[in-house]
Amino acid sequence: VQSTVHSMNEQYLNGRCVSFNRPEAPTDISNECKKRREEGSIKDSASLTVGTSSLTQRQVSAPETTCTPKHNIFRSHSESHVSIMKALNKCSNHNGELTGDFSKPIALPTVEGGKHPDLKVISVDTMADLLRGKYCKQISSFRIIDCRYPYEYEGGHIKGAEMFHHPQMIIDHLMAQEGAPVITKEGTPRHVLIFHCEYSAERGPKAQRLLRENDRTTNKEHYPALHFPETYLLEGGYKAFFEKYSELCTPKCYVRMLDSKHAEDLKHFCGKSKSWQAENKQSNSHNALPRTGLK
């Protein structure tokens, strides 16, 4: 019996030992797993490549989308600068003097070397020729702007002259113009203004500059077009003209600004002009934009 039991135990133990041996993995399964891992790595690398290429495409195409609006903005700015560049080129390439809108040469001969180099100045002889019709083919109409005070104007003025003794009268006259200014072609009849005061030393030049400055400001969106592109200053003023062409004045007389008979009138009109200048200067300073440091 003992031998039989011992034999059975040996067989049982031997069976347990055999059952606990780790089986080897099948060759076909191992190859299948390896194949799947390789395919997975290939897919991962492929997806990474596709993602990288798409990212590269986005990076390359991104500047194209940003360039389009910049191109449009540049085009709109260039279109607005075309007229300015043409005007400046025409002005720089022309030997003579041009009108304020740079469209054509001025119609009247000017005097050089005066006290107001920024203004176009004509002689009393040219003024007389204009009154007598010498320039009727070039100039359709002209207006003589007398900037002296009322007592001076009433005492004697150039025939056909209009009195604009106060700066606000110049601005009001400009504001009365309707519609946008149009640049006329060369050969078109002109409409010119001639400014003067007693000596054409202060009041006349100031009025002429004031008109041009406000004309530019009002029509800045239509640059370089102006309502009054051709303006002149009479050299020597009414005094010089009266001394040589008194027959073209009415009445044939000359009242000085400092005439003792009109001391109170002088004080009154000078005070009004100075008051207007102070108020206008203060108004402009309040309406001015803050400086940015840019020129």
Residue range 255-290, pLDDT digits in tens: 999 999 999 999 999 999 888 888 777 655 545 433
Strands 231-234 and 121-122: parallel
In the residue annotation, 249 being an active-site residue is answered as no
> H/E/C letters for each residue in 103-145?
CCECCCCCCCCCCCCCCCEECHHHHHHHHCCCCCCCEEEEEEE
Q: Give the C-alpha separation, 4 to 248, whole Å.
A: 164
Between the CA of residue 144 and those of 61, 78, 170, what are the distances in Å?
65, 39, 13
- For the structural domain made of 96-280, what CATH number should be given? 3.40.250.10
91, 136, 197, 270: the catalytic one is 197
Cα three-residue angle 190-196-198, rounded to 5 degrees: 160
- CA dist., res. 180 & res. 113, Å (int): 34
pLDDT, one tens digit per residue, over 194-205 is 999 999 999 999
pLDDT in tens, 125-183: 999 999 999 999 999 999 999 999 999 999 999 999 999 999 999 999 888 888 899 99
Which of these, 133, 131, 130, lies nearest to 108 by C-alpha position?
Answer: 130
In single-letter form, the type of residue at position 173 comes to: H
DSSP 3-state of 48: helix
CA–CA distance, 172 with 208 (Å, rounded to integer): 14
What does the alpha-carbon distance between residue 256 and residue 199 come to, in Å, rounded to a whole number? 10
Q: How many CB atoms lie within 10 A of CB 262?
A: 19
At 231 the three-state DSSP class reads: strand
Q: Which residues are CB-neighbours of 202 under 8 A, at least 6 positions away?
A: none
Q: Which residues pair with 194 in a beta bridge?
A: 144, 232
- Note the pLDDT tens digit of each residue in 87-99: 555 544 445 699 9
Question: Domain limits of the chain?
Answer: 96-280
What phi and psi, each to the nearest 5 degrees, are found at residue 176?
A: -75, -10
How does residue 35 score in pLDDT terms, banded at 50, 70 and 90?
Answer: low
Segment 104-108 mean pLDDT: 95
pTM of the model: 0.67
C-alpha 79: how far from its chain's center?
12
User: Is the separation of the CB atoms in 230 and 145 below 8 Å?
Assistant: no
Sheet bearing 190-196, strands edge to edge:
121-122, 231-234, 190-196, 139-146, 162-163
